[in-house]
Amino acid sequence: MSEVDAVVNTVKLWLGNPISRGLIRYVYNGSPQSFNKMLEKYAELDVNLNVSEKFKYMILEKILNIGAKSFGKTEKELRSSLRSPLIRRAISNILGGIAEYGIRKPQTTIAPFLVVWNYTRLCNLKCKHCYENASSKRDEDELNTIEAKKVVDEFAEAGVVAIAFSGGEPLMRKDFYEVAGYAYKREFYISIATNGTLIDSETALKIKDAGVQYVEISLDGLEETHDNFRGVKGAFKKSIEGIKNCINAGLDVGVATTITKQNINEVPKLVDMLEDIGVKRFIAFNFIPVGRGKDIVKMDLEPEERRKVLEELYGKLITPNCRIQTYSTAPQYSVVSVNFEGGPLIATHFTNKSAMEMLKGKAKALAEFIGGCGAGRLYCGLEPNGDIIPCVFMPIKIGNIRMNRLIDVWRDSPILWKLRNRDELEGCGECKYKYICGGCRARAYAYFNNIQGPDPGCFVKLEYWQKINNS
């Protein structure tokens, strides 16, 4: 039996049998707050448990000790890593999902691990591919500051781990620092997706002081291509300044590029340039014809072009001494990685740096549980007006945070349950890669108006791309 099979089998044995699940369910009991207190106790922090929690803690301690072994850690190491509030929150999110839903392929967490919050539709640029149809006017129904802080409280109560502020341009809202700072105090992992043009050196420090751990700046190619795409001359220079200012402020910086026919040939040069500047991650975003992107649908990549660019990026990722990590939001990236001998398998495009650390050496074993599209099972989106959506590229309202509790929508939405079932997907359902990939559900929806439809960007099954082009 390979090490990979051994780990999968141990995890299944450890958590997958009805007795362990029953025990975890009893210990978790729908309360992330109480569960967190028990994890604090395990981490040897100063915490008072009530009588019922003390009893449950004895069970949890045994479960965690066995779990530590499965992951090749000593008890001491696990206790020490659980001193980080973020790791406690992540463990609680995952174990809560197992308690509630059992071991599933792919796994569903108790609450979204990550929420991408389109904080505003306001933006200072006019990008051709903008999924949010952002503009220079603020929507009147945006959540206000008080409501935004209540949303943060609700995320904490539900057991969300990470919040990514996006937009529009989140920095266009003056209360961004106040709300991000509030979320940081409530111990979330905070990141921001920005066009970078508004980040001078002072702003970079303000972002850092607010507690933002990761800044993702979007660039759509080299200078001429980028400015053309963004609809504003000089945008490229400003974004590069923004990147440098963030790096100088000591922030972790990544660059996101939506790949289309217009910029695909510039990707290698762009990645090398960013590596030299000190950017830590490059993320190739899948183009999805939604919002203003519908008008440029002809710029979408052919499946073979997608394969080529993903292979180039993976080749870069596994180059010895490479100083930049190269990822893609295309779920097919894991298909490329699995077919490369020896390299790490890309389990999910939501795997952040700290998650990668936690999963070191085990990602291959866990890929079928956490791999591929995370919409509706690890992650969801929140619109500026509080609408809850499965993914920021999938404009299907499944609730509104002003009226519905996030945890109820997450547990009960029929749309989310459709997304969580890879066996019933058209095309992907019969594919051997369905658990590590599953296609981009937003692309299936954009092209076929069907969240369980095929992803026409797939290079394993080409018939769906041909179908679009022949229709």
Query: Which positions lie near ligand SF4, rule CB under 6 A?
Result: 286, 329, 331-332, 335, 373-375, 391, 393-394, 427-428, 431, 433-434, 437-442, 455, 458, 460-461
Q: How far is the CB of 387 from ligand SF4 (least distance, A)?
A: 16
Q: Phi/psi of residue 455, each to 5°?
A: -95, 110
Q: Which is nearer to ligand SF4, 116 or 270 (CB)?
A: 116
Q: Using CA atoms, how far apart are residues 422 and 107, in angstroms rounded to an integer?
A: 11
Nearest distance from C-beta of residue 335 to ligand SF4, angstroms: 5
User: Would you say 237 or 432 has its CB closer to ligand SF4?
Assistant: 432
Least CB distance from residue 131 to ligand SF4, whole Å? 9
d(CA 178, CA 187): 14
CB of 10 to ligand SF4, least distance (A): 26
Helix axes 267-277, 235-248, angle to 10 degrees: 40
Of 236 and 435, which has the nearer Cβ to ligand SF4?
435
Q: Least Å distance between CB 336 and ligand SF4?
A: 10
State the residue for tokens 């920005």: 194
What would you measure as the largest C-alpha separation in the chain, in angstroms?
67
Select 138 or 461, whichever has its Cβ closest to ligand SF4.
461
Q: Which residues pair with 282 in a beta bridge?
A: 255, 326
Least gap, CB of 157 to ligand SF4 (angstroms):
24
Q: Which is nearer to ligand SF4, 245 or 328 (CB)?
A: 328
From the CB of residue 295, how many other CB atoms can be counted at a distance below 10 Å? 11
Letter for the amino acid at 267?
V
**Minimum CB distance to ligand SF4, residue 395 (Å):** 11
When the beta carbons of 107 and 329 are compared against ligand SF4, the nearer one is 329
Are 220 and 197 a contacting pair, CB within 8 Å?
Answer: no
CA–CA separation, 58 and 360 (whole Å): 28
Structural tokens at position 465: 């791309």
Continuous segment of H or E residues that includes residue 54 = helix 51-70
Structure-token match 């890593």, residue found: 81
Q: Find all residues with CB under 8 Å of 298, minimum gap 6, and list them.
A: 261
The residues, any chain, with a CB within 8 Å of residue 242's CB and separated by 6 or more, are 194, 195, 196, 197, 198, 199, 200, 204, 217
| CB closer to ligand SF4, 195 vs 329 | 329
